[in-house]
Amino acid sequence: MSEIEEEAVRQNYSEQEKTSIFDTEFMIHVDSMYNFAYRLTFDEDDAKDLVQDTYLKAFRFINSFERGTNAKAWLFRILKNSFINEFRKKSKQPAKVDYNEVESYYNSDDAGENITTDLRVETVQHMIGDEITGALNALPVDFRTVIILSDLEGFTYEEMSKILDIPIGTVRSRLHRARNMLREKLISYAKEMGYNN
């Protein structure tokens, strides 16, 4: 649990304060937390377990949280670490993607440069939410994660950098690659489905 406690100024909350923080600052994010967990695990029960586990840890280490600071980012960080450290090991997570390999490919000169020019707004508008979500779910988890954090949860690059433990420059490039990968998937999907692209 050192990742939760590191860099934190230790607080000394009373039981009443702990309950109040948990209710007013943590529980309001349960919906976002569950959706994040579901988009990582693709399984309702697993998502539920992951969220419960995250909240248990959050309560256990509540003295490492400074009241009034960014509770959502703090919780997301715990959830992401739980997913990586414990959950992914035992999960039915399908493809084990070599993240470094994927990222270095997408950062290389070999990666397609015209990905974003081939997708039309009208094509996307013809698609339904399920199809776009399917394309997002098909991305390797590290790329999927940055899109979820940025485009669905509205985190800034700095917040994402803290949640994911990566430099801001890496957030920026990973997000750009992830969005390109998503568009590439949408183009393939549109062609497959006969959308007029």
Partner 1 sequence: MSEFSVWFEQTFKQCYCEKGNLVDQDRFSEIVQLVLDNEADEESRALFEEKIRTCVQSSGRFEKEKGLRESIQQKLTEFKKDIPSDLAQSIKNSINL
Binding residues vs partner 1 (CB under 8 A) = 19, 22-23, 27, 30-31, 34-35, 38, 44, 47-48, 51-52, 55-56, 59, 113-117, 119-121, 124-125, 127-133, 136, 147, 150-152, 156-157, 172, 175-176, 179-180, 182-183, 186
Q: Do the Cβ atoms of 48 and 34 come closer than 8 Å?
A: yes
Q: 93 vs 161, which CB is nearer to partner 1?
A: 161
Q: Find the farthest-apart pair of alpha carbons in the chain and give their distance in angstroms, rounded.
A: 62
Instruction: Catalogue the long-range contacts made by 166-175 (C-beta closer than 8 Å, 24 or more residues apart).
Output: 171/146, 173/107, 174/103, 174/142, 174/143, 174/146, 175/146, 175/147, 175/150
CB of 81 to partner 1, least distance (A): 18
Q: Which is nearer to partner 1, 88 or 176 (CB)?
A: 176
The Cα–Cα gap between 131 and 124 comes to: 10
Contact predicate 53/59, CB 8 Å:
no
| Nearer of residues 98 and 158 to partner 1, judged by Cβ | 158
CB of 42 to partner 1, least distance (A): 10
Residue 56 CB, shortest distance to partner 1, in Å, is 6
- Kindly tell me which of 135 and 142 has the beta carbon lying closer to partner 1: 135
Coil vs helix vs strand at 61? coil
CA angle, 5 then 84 then 33, to 5°:
75
Tokens of 14: 């009373």
| Cβ closest to partner 1, residue 68 vs residue 129 | 129
What's the min distance (Å) between Cβ of 41 and partner 1? Answer: 11
Least distance (Å) from partner 1 to the CB of residue 83?
16
